[in-house]
Amino acid sequence: MFATVMQYVLYLAFLIVLAIPLGAYIKKVMNGEKTFLSKILTPCETAVYKVMGVDSEEQMNWKKYAISVLIFSGIGFVFLFVLQLLQGVLPGNPQHLKGVNWDLALNTAISFITNTNWQAYAGESTLSYLTQAVGLTVQNFLSAATGIAVLFALIRGFIKVKADGLGSFWVDVTRIIIHILLPLNVVVSLLLVGGGVIQNFDGANSVALVEPIAVSQDGEILEDADINVSSNTVKVDGQVIEDAKIVTEQFVPMGPAASQVAIKMTGTNGGGFMGVNSAHPLENPSAFTNLIEMTSILLIPAALCFTFGSALKNKKQGVAIFTAMFICLVVAIACIGVSEQAGTQQLAQNGAVNISLVDQAGGNMEGKEARFGIASSSTWAAYTTAASNGSVNAMHDSFTPLGGMVTMLLMQVGEVIFGGVGCGLYGMLAFAILTVFIAGLMVGRTPEFLGKKIEPYEMKWAVLVCLTTPIVILVGSGIAAMIPEVSESLTNHGAHGFSELLYAFSSCGGNNGSAFAGFNSNTVFLNVSLGLAMLIARFVPIVGTLAIAGNLAKKKKIATTAGTLSTTNGMFIFLLIVVVLIVGALSFFPALALGPLAEFFSNLM
Amino acid sequence: MKEIKQITKKALSMLIVFTVLCGIAYTGVITGAAQLIFPHQSNGSIIEVNGVRYGSELLGQQYNDERHMWGRIMNLDVSTYQDENGEPLMYATPSNLSPASEEYQQLVAQRVDMIRQANPDMKETAIPVDLVTCSGSGLDPHISKAAANYQVARIAKENQMNEQEVQEIIDKCTQGKFLGVFGEETVNVLKVNLMLDGILE
């Protein structure tokens, strides 16, 4: 028991220890200051500007910044969409996979430019290595960099006084990729390969099976068959089965996985190289790779809190935001961990199944890997849904009702408990603006945040940023629930079936990308509707955030007085958490009551 | 309008630059380094003895033979992948079942019966949960120490070994927690079985 708790504590401690120095480093990159890597990297940065003809001193106003984001994402979309359609005739395809269907290609392209990485595809059977490397990996970098760049613009909005410019989008993206993402990912991917993640350009492989498997003519697996490989005969109960096939080899997927997996984690992207993502033993082979991959999920989102404080020369503010997020995260991990460790009565079989902690992880091991057990799977589940990462190392569909509900809630509160790289923090800052407004109303003062007056213009946009996610999720899942063909996509039925559907829209509406994977989302209706959900949930908040940034930059700074509401103390942290929970949890209460809560309570009866 | 044209041009050149940098150069450099420094790991950790490829130590297989150690429950897939000659290859997928449904309860009850039958010496002992559940990848190569110990009596009897010898093999194939804290202690089922068959030392 003690060892299990220690595991949770050390995971969190490891994250904080790495996030603080990284946050300081990112602040230097944002301001173009010198770092210990400048000698090598700055020449590369300058070379990129030269090739692209970028003026590194340019200051864009918010509209130009926003248009640049939109056009850049749009071009990325077109490229990735076409690349998937054409992969069948392009090189880098040793498996000879066909071009992807239009609706799946559309969904996947949107999914990757929006930093969602919803997987309606199974990597090893659908996408060529060229698509994975030149398409997905590149968008993993670019969508992550875009999120961080928008956050930089917002931070500058708070810092600048009576100014117009928020910096240059091109410069921000270039710096983020060259100084932060590339060096970090070179280190992470080499650690992963050392731990056993595959990285090669060979076609898929096969290896011998210790026990061959018999398959009947129509593809049914023949259990208890008597197999004679040398004479190629299969007998069941002494009867020879005609036309049975004997499977003697196992499929071993290959490809450049580690490099893709590294950025998928650090960029809060989450789209796996394999269909089952980081549960796959070739994508996440050991407790060591799991530690690296899992910490990478929250590393940059957590670091950005400290970047924020340090850039504002108000470290306490960064710590306050971090604390609010951290408290929510710890509570979520505790809920998932306890619920998964307890397991279910259906699994325990009145004591016939041992779910204790002796010599094993115990608990609900359905959908979980033996090497990760309960602690590493629960921590990952909380990390990946708190951040808008969406990778998984265990199948959320097979979580207990309450454990699964917490992962859903983390996405439904708008992906602001750390959230995606950049977008999590700018989302949380919109909630902070909402909080000072509400607090201001309570004490009868003009709301202000970080020395800037918060006025109706900011409020309108902040509300839009905060409400986009709940609206997209609720409207989307509401419409989908009324369409009869959607029920064919479900693996489970009843309340859990509804949970699968709600999870899909929560995941796309939160730009998360994880799934209750029993849900077959590869249909035309779902590919398109979930694609739309992802687009709205990504770009409406981006435009809103930049509009707020642009307007804040224009304002003068007001002096702090005795009457100024502190935004760094415990009271503010508490209020912020309450506002996030009211918007998130309350809007979803009715929907959750039909899904996971119904499942949970029907079990108690 | 002119500005939009300009931005589009920049966006396009940016996409090209970073496709080369992050897609081609980055992937290429990592692959080169990986093949140079970690050739075994980067190619799938395949166990090869005398030129025969006996499986990947990271991919689970299904074992029904009572002489072998059994692993996690598998959901086999023999229709998605074929070799060059069109012969089907084995792969596996997770169940994605809710562990709180009646259907699931019946499924586990069947598995309990099956395992009880195969391990008559362990009738009084509760079955370790790993043996009656499907894994997250469907291809989990490991089981817990408890799940391995549960099978010792059966494996020893079926192979005419004593329990001590079986235990030694299990110990050889056991990997502790990383740094003594992270993850779980696991037994690699394929390695145990290759040792039982005398293929691995």
pLDDT in tens, B133-192: 999 999 999 999 999 999 999 999 999 999 999 999 999 999 999 999 999 999 999 999
HEC letters along A117-174: CCCCCCHHHHCCHHHHHHHHHHHHHHHHHHHHHHHHHHHHHHHCCCCCCCCCHHHHHH
Full domain range(s) for residue A228: 205-252
pLDDT bin (cut points 50, 70, 90) of residue A172 is very high
The reply to whether residue A492 touches residue B101, judged by beta carbons under 8 angstroms, is: yes
How far apart CA B200 and CA B55 sit, in angstroms, is: 12
Alpha helices in A218-367 (DSSP H): 257-266, 287-311, 315-342, 345-348
How far apart CA A353 and CA B140 sit, in angstroms, is: 19
HEC letters along A243-255: CCEEEEEEEECCC
Q: Which of A268, A270, A267 is nearest to A517 (CA)?
A: A270
- The pLDDT of residue A149 is 96
Taking 80 as the threshold, does the pLDDT of residue A359 lie above it? yes
Pair A183, A232 in one domain: no
pLDDT bin (cut points 50, 70, 90) of residue A49 is very high
Render pLDDT for A476-534 as a digit per residue (tens, 0 to 9). Answer: 999 998 988 888 888 888 888 899 999 999 999 888 888 887 888 889 999 999 999 99
Asked if A603 is an interface residue toward chain B (Cβ–Cβ < 8 A), one would say yes
* Chain B residues touching A599 at Cβ < 8 A: 98, 100
Pair A26, A92 in one domain: yes
Residue of B nearest to A224 (CA): B64
Residue A358 lies in a domain: no
Residue A570 lies in a domain: no
Is A124 or A295 the better-scoring residue by pLDDT? A295
The reply to whether residue A354 touches residue B134, judged by beta carbons under 8 angstroms, is: no
Residue A171 lies in a domain: yes
Taking 90 as the threshold, does the pLDDT of residue A70 lie above it? yes
> Residue for token digits 């072998």?
B68
What is the distance in angstroms between the Cα of B128 and the nearest Cα belonging to chain A? 5
Render pLDDT for A433-452 as a digit per residue (tens, 0 to 9). Answer: 999 999 988 888 888 999 99
Residue A175 lies in a domain: yes
- The pLDDT of residue A229 is 84
Pair A184, A40 in one domain: yes
HEC letters along A16-60: HHHHHHHHHHHHHHHCCCCCCCHHHHHHHHHHHHHHHCCCCCCCC
Q: Residues 182..201 of A with a Cβ closer than 8 Å to B: which?
A: 182, 185-186, 189-190, 193-201
Q: Residues 143..172 of A with a Cβ closer than 8 Å to B: which?
A: 170
Residue A42 lies in a domain: yes
Encoded tokens for B74: 């598998």
The reply to whether residue B62 touches residue A245, judged by beta carbons under 8 angstroms, is: no
* Chain A residues touching B69 at Cβ < 8 A: none
Residue A223 lies in a domain: yes
Encoded tokens for B69: 């150690």
Count other C-beta atoms under 10 Å from residue A176's C-beta. Answer: 27
The reply to whether residue B10 touches residue A68, judged by beta carbons under 8 angstroms, is: yes
Render pLDDT for B55-112 as a digit per residue (tens, 0 to 9). Answer: 999 999 999 999 999 999 999 999 888 888 888 999 999 999 999 999 999 999 999 9
Q: Which residues contact A582 (CB under 8 A, 6 or more apart)?
A: none
Q: DSSP secondary-structure letter at A100?
A: P
Helix (H, G, I), strand (E, B) or coil at B54: strand
The reply to whether residue B64 touches residue A211, judged by beta carbons under 8 angstroms, is: yes
Q: Do the strands A353-354 and B142-144 form a parallel or antiparallel pair, or are they unpaired?
A: unpaired
Is A328:A386 a contact under the CB 8 Å cutoff?
yes
For residues B5-10, average pLDDT: 93
The reply to whether residue B78 touches residue A281, judged by beta carbons under 8 angstroms, is: no
When CB atoms are compared, the residue of B22, B105, B184 closest to A138 is B22
Taking 90 as the threshold, does the pLDDT of residue A585 lie above it? no
The reply to whether residue B8 touches residue A133, judged by beta carbons under 8 angstroms, is: no
- The pLDDT of residue A238 is 83
Render pLDDT for A402-436 as a digit per residue (tens, 0 to 9). Answer: 999 999 999 988 889 999 999 999 999 999 999 99
Q: Do the strands A353-354 and B127-128 form a parallel or antiparallel pair, or are they unpaired?
A: parallel
* Chain A residues touching B136 at Cβ < 8 A: 276, 279, 367-369, 372, 377, 392-395, 398
Is B163:B171 a contact under the CB 8 Å cutoff?
no
* Chain A residues touching B140 at Cβ < 8 A: 281, 369-371
The reply to whether residue A352 touches residue B126, judged by beta carbons under 8 angstroms, is: yes
Residue A467 Cα to chain centre, angstroms: 19
Is A550:A59 a contact under the CB 8 Å cutoff?
no
Helix (H, G, I), strand (E, B) or coil at B160: coil
When CB atoms are compared, the residue of B14, B64, B149 closest to A359 is B149
* Chain B residues touching A194 at Cβ < 8 A: 37-38, 41
The reply to whether residue A287 touches residue B178, judged by beta carbons under 8 angstroms, is: yes
When CB atoms are compared, the residue of B27, B80, B101 closest to A256 is B27
How far apart CA B111 and CA A20 sit, in angstroms, is: 48
Pair A221, A96 in one domain: no
Is A499:A489 a contact under the CB 8 Å cutoff?
no
Asked if A138 is an interface residue toward chain B (Cβ–Cβ < 8 A), one would say yes
For residues A162-182, average pLDDT: 95
> Residue for token digits 């970098």?
A141
Sequence spans of domains, chain B: 2-39, 55-196
Encoded tokens for B173: 């194939």
Where would I find the beta strands (DSSP E) of A173-257?
205-215, 226-228, 233-236, 239-240, 245-252
Residue A118 lies in a domain: yes
Asked if A522 is an interface residue toward chain B (Cβ–Cβ < 8 A), one would say no
What is the distance in angstroms between the Cα of B36 and the nearest Cα belonging to chain A? 11
Residues in chain A: 605
Pair A76, A56 in one domain: yes
The reply to whether residue B64 touches residue A245, judged by beta carbons under 8 angstroms, is: no
Taking 80 as the threshold, does the pLDDT of residue A584 lie above it? no
Taking 80 as the threshold, does the pLDDT of residue B1 lie above it? no
Q: How many domains does chain A have?
A: 2
The reply to whether residue A194 touches residue B95, judged by beta carbons under 8 angstroms, is: no
- ipTM of the prediction: 0.95
Residue A260 lies in a domain: no
At residue A196, φ and ψ (nearest 5 deg) are 115, 5
Residue B190 Cα to chain centre, angstroms: 9
Residue of B nearest to A250 (CA): B90
Pair A80, A131 in one domain: yes
Helix (H, G, I), strand (E, B) or coil at A283: coil
* Chain A residues touching B17 at Cβ < 8 A: 48, 51-52
